[in-house]
Amino acid sequence: MDLSEKELKEAFVSNLNGTTLQEVAVGSFLTPLCILNRALILILHHRAKGRLPLPFPRISHLLLDFSALVLPLVLSCTVLSDVLLQVVLSFTFVLSCALCRICRPACRRTTLSAFLDRTVHFKQVPFVTVFRVMVNVQTAISILAVDFRVFPRRYAKTEMYGTGVMDFGVGAFVLANGLVCPEARGRNVPASKMKHISKQLLSVWPLVVLGAARLVFVKTSSYQEHVTEYGVHWNFFFTLAIVRVLTSMLLVVVPARKSWLLCLLICGVYQYTLETTGLKAFIMHNEDRGKDFLHANKEGLFSIAGYVAIYMAGVQIGCYVMQPRSRVRDWLRAVFNLLMATLLLFAALCTCQTFVEPVSRRLANLPFCLWSVAQSLLFLSCIALVDLIVLFSQAASGCSFVPSAWSSKSDGRKKRDEMERLCLLQAVSRNQLLFFLLSNVLTGLTNSLVSTLSCGGSFSVCVLLTYMFINSAAVYVLHLCGMTIKCW
């Protein structure tokens, strides 16, 4: 790739203004619908067992999961992006008809109160796992898709202000890490606080190494750079590492269940500083990049404050979601509370956008933090609600288990273990960092081999599907072999 093509690619991802809050919200409904679609396919197959055998189960389950969970997401951000609302509405109608077909016999013999009093069984909260996996999957799709013309420019990261789909992806990725951190899961901080902090410092070395490797690759090749994203030398790997270390230090002092106070304090102080000092103008303008490290990487360094606040919000949500619950009724109440929190946060966001300033990923300002948390909560709540629908469908059909979903029966452990072993969601969950790393490596490789700006729509989609299938198959094979790649 020569210099002129590099400059063309940099211009292609620069000076963008994003899309509307409504379009991003509509996109959040597609993933839960995909999860429901996959579950209903498995339930209908269960009802047709004996008449509809599933040959080569390992390959069949991979192809089913890829077709149901990944393929629609690739199409929705490429060739179907202009009719996304119609896709969501049509998908909802079809799945509603399938649900009625499955659940109608059970409605006559099962009362609502009996279903709400059922006890659910799980090792991990299923919808939390699915949320984290699907954020990772959508991130993997976007980081390559953004380089193709078939990917709408309004979905890409914004330059100064605005709400792009990829902007949400960054915030959701940070919140997802906070959601399942040890503090959110109720693990006690060791008596030696310094030892705990030292352990956290050591635990982020893979992120530091990955960030350094990306930096070396970008600087020694003709790969495109978007310096207003994080800076000249900074990247998202460094941000993730610093955020994890800083939040670990803060959570040594402040209990995890009070992390919402830290979130509000950090957001408030940072936004006040932006408004009352020259910091906002300093970050937004591109002069003096070569003066020193601070000037060169001001976006990445100062946005850490916003990402720490988002991480703390994730910790608070994790503390609430991880509370012990066993009955369907309790989980339904929890989902309702998450939806109410979502509405409050969106109301606060609209107020901030009216009286303070618009959302800015570049600043990671207060509106960006509010939007990231609100949109993530909406996404999480929809997945949780779908999980409850799947649970009812299982009860109605007599299918006792769908992978990565709740189960209301304690028997059939061997069958459930086998189904989890064939589940793509569990495969990605098992090696999430590897999946993220592999996505970045293949993105760079694809850009080196393919002139992405010259590709037509159909060819671009084929490249994206091939890329995602390689990512998915790699972690799927590792999962089948029982291997977790973790060296820290």
pLDDT: which is higher, 49 or 471:
471
CB 158 within 8 A of CB 164: yes
- Which pLDDT tens digit goes with each residue over 244-276? 999 988 988 888 899 999 999 999 999 999 999
Lowest mean pLDDT among 16-20, 124-128, 291-295, 412-416: 412-416
Give dist(CA 408, CA 410) in Å, integer: 7
Lowest mean pLDDT among 10-24, 105-119, 218-232: 105-119
**pLDDT at 3 exceeding the cut of 60:** no
CB 200 within 8 A of CB 248: yes
With b for 16 or more beta-carbon neighbours within 10 A and e for fewer, the 102-136 pattern comes to bbeeeeeeeeeeebbebebeeeebbbbbbbbbbbb
- Report the pLDDT value the prediction gives residue 114, as an integer from 0 to 100: 79
- Which pLDDT tens digit goes with each residue over 53-99? 566 778 888 999 999 999 999 999 999 999 999 999 999 999 999 88
pLDDT: which is higher, 448 or 424:
424
**pLDDT at 108 exceeding the cut of 80:** no
Exposure on the CB side of residue 253, measured as CA atoms within 13 A: 6
Dihedral of CA atoms 20, 22, 27, 30 in degrees, nearest 10, equals -170
CB 356 within 8 A of CB 366: yes
**pLDDT at 310 exceeding the cut of 90:** yes
Cα torsion angle, 360, 366, 371, 373, sign? positive
CB 29 within 8 A of CB 174: no
